[in-house]
Structure 1
């Protein structure tokens, strides 16, 4: 297994780790060190690594950064009652070109996913999500991306990729493997009306900050259906992070971003998770600790994953059928978890590439709406995407 592009965790961080309690998380990790090299990954379930690349940030001014403070904070936390083995593989340094960094990131993600290891990526500018997406080209036929961000990042896809336009590149570049793109926490005044209209016309999903803050549970189904979850730290309100990280007085608070991370963790489909747009500063403790807690909650979620979407055995679920206008809607409720899905039979009939999306995660409220003759929004958008 070739991980030559990964540099080890700093000796300063390792020295700090040695001073921690024997029960601390850092003492239980498999860590890539200069002395020991890359750890054996045979029993590893989750692998964390940094990507020290931010040259495609629209505000890039030539600064370099490291992730030492995040590691110190994360290592100092105590694990839950977990049964997963976690590795810290160090960092992917900047390549000679940004494309070299992208290539190394794609390789790392592809290798890990093929070994059934969930990669957690710490960036760097969020355009790295494009490389994360391209790592799936040879892994699965269609990909769902959830972007937790104040902006859609559609941008001008005719121009070189930047951290504010990478989604436009994902949508328009061949091969066309994107099935659904969803945004959680967008703020209308940060997005042009043209971008908002484009999201609607493509039948992508978006959840405004106010909606999410009012009821965080509305984002669970879309995270349950995601393969890739990408978080831009700019979605967090300025009062929750360090001075250099602040971008807006409004945004998700610490509890909300951690809840979203946990929903991503308990999703059986999420196979890569990234946190981007980290901007270290001298007063970095707050941001580093928030990122550490987001990581903690994602890993906590992974430890509580339950295989509840096997509908081959009717003892595992309850089936509900209701009519909305002339359309028969079929819902499934897991007996294990109480989570809901809605059937989309036409996807399997029309396009073999979409077979994995014939069951769409939804909420109990969607079933109640259907009983009141209202078509669930997620079902409608999936139907329209298939009809285009």
Structure 2
């Protein structure tokens, strides 16, 4: 069977959930039990646990997701029409590569069936397996990491939660079109790493920059395929994580807002939360992060891929490189066109639209080329 890697939920969890009222989320989710496996043709969202944290050197205990499930399914859903299933857990393989293989297979099948997986780790190196799940789809991938570090490592280093990005960049097939970091803290990243982000035309937004204006992250999520959350990006007073202790980071409200942006994005097809310590304390925030992502799914406007031009207003800005902007008449959101270069070494096989902000449009009107547009065009032809 396609999903043999997935193990059913423990009876103790299922019995706990049975005590919930009919209004709580646990009464509206279909569960993988010893007797039954959910009919995936009837679901839109699949929750998967991965019980492997070997990539995080701070972890010494086995992964336990029971607290997260109890908190999540005890919440009350919004006015959702999304059908949700908990498909159970992928156990740690004999090696990390075995776990990656199982996770990649399961996630790839779900994405092909237009089901959105929510993966609860485990350590963040599992993001590598999520990225590899797109190999069979033959598409370029945009990865957004909500993290205080870039997670670069030496090419010779084994894959870990602090070095997985290097493996994503250097391994073939190289399907990564863009990497964006949201929430990095400069003192956790070397200047060489910060310079490398610029050299590769990737994007990075400092913690303070996003906290001061969280809406700048919305266009970044609108162009993402995979969103990976490292819970240590949240300050310890809000996350409950005491090892490692994080005096600075996003607060609970901010990380939930970012999660909702990810859910609202029509393009995001995979979401994961990693690097937590299995405690009941942290499970409260993790459950709310997942809740807000599902809430965002309910409010998707289905504007991607680019719909009928009748629903958009086109603006042409005469610069040295002519810029073409589109504004949605439905949501007032903005896009800028990345042109296909004839006889060029294009990674994208046609004109494509890059999400942007109204402020970037105003900047272009004042002869300022949007930095995100410039980086995207450079990545398209190198």
Please give the TM-score of this superposition, normalised by the length of structure 1: 0.95
Given the superposition, is the C-alpha separation of residues 169 and 298 from structure 1 closer, same or farther in structure 2, using an over 3 Å criterion?
Answer: same
Secondary structure of the residue aligned to 1:138 is helix
1:191 lines up with 2:189 in the alignment? yes
Q: Which residue of 2 aligns with 1:103?
A: 101
Cα shift at 1:310: 5.6
Cα shift at 1:347: 5.3
Cα shift at 1:352: 5.5
1:275 lines up with 2:273 in the alignment? yes
Q: Which of 230, 235, 238 is residue 237 of structure 1 equivalent to? A: 235
CA distance in 2, matches of 1:351, 1:226: 23
Q: Which residue of 1 aligns with 2:332?
A: 338
1:223 lines up with 2:221 in the alignment? yes
Cα shift at 1:323: 2.1
Q: Would you say the 8 A contact 1:348–1:355 is kept in 2? A: no
Q: Which residue of 1 aligns with 2:114?
A: 116
Q: Would you say the 8 A contact 1:347–1:355 is kept in 2? A: no
Q: Would you say the 8 A contact 1:348–1:358 is kept in 2? A: no
Q: Which residue of 1 aligns with 2:322?
A: 328
Q: Which residue of 2 aligns with 1:294?
A: 289
Q: Which residue of 1 aligns with 2:348?
A: 354
Alignment of 1:38-53 (within 5 A): 38-53=37-52
CA distance in 2, matches of 1:2, 1:363: 41
Q: Which of 365, 372, 382 is residue 359 of structure 2 equivalent to? A: 365
Instruction: Return 5+ residue gaps in structure 2 as ranges.
Output: none
Cα shift at 1:148: 0.3
Cα shift at 1:149: 0.1
Q: Which residue of 1 aligns with 2:8?
A: 8
CA distance in 2, matches of 1:244, 1:385: 39
1:76 lines up with 2:71 in the alignment? no
Deviations 1:53-112 (A, max 9, x none): 111223343x21210000000000011111110000111011111111111100110111
Secondary structure of the residue aligned to 1:263 is helix
Given the superposition, is the C-alpha separation of residues 75 and 8 from structure 1 closer, same or farther in structure 2, using an over 3 Å criterion?
Answer: same
1:87 lines up with 2:82 in the alignment? no
Cα shift at 1:341: 0.3
Secondary structure of the residue aligned to 1:355 is coil
1:21 lines up with 2:15 in the alignment? no
Cα shift at 1:348: 7.4
Q: Would you say the 8 A contact 2:340–2:351 is kept in 1? A: no
Given the superposition, is the C-alpha separation of residues 386 and 115 from structure 1 closer, same or farther in structure 2, using an over 3 Å criterion?
Answer: closer
CA distance in 1, matches of 2:324, 2:141: 24
Q: Which of 55, 63, 66 is residue 65 of structure 1 equivalent to? A: 63
Q: Which of 358, 376, 380 is residue 382 of structure 1 equivalent to? A: 376
Q: Would you say the 8 A contact 2:236–2:242 is kept in 1? A: no
Secondary structure of the residue aligned to 1:230 is strand
Given the superposition, is the C-alpha separation of residues 112 and 243 from structure 1 closer, same or farther in structure 2, using an over 3 Å criterion?
Answer: closer
Secondary structure of the residue aligned to 1:249 is coil
Q: Which residue of 1 aligns with 2:137?
A: 139
CA distance in 2, matches of 1:166, 1:26: 34
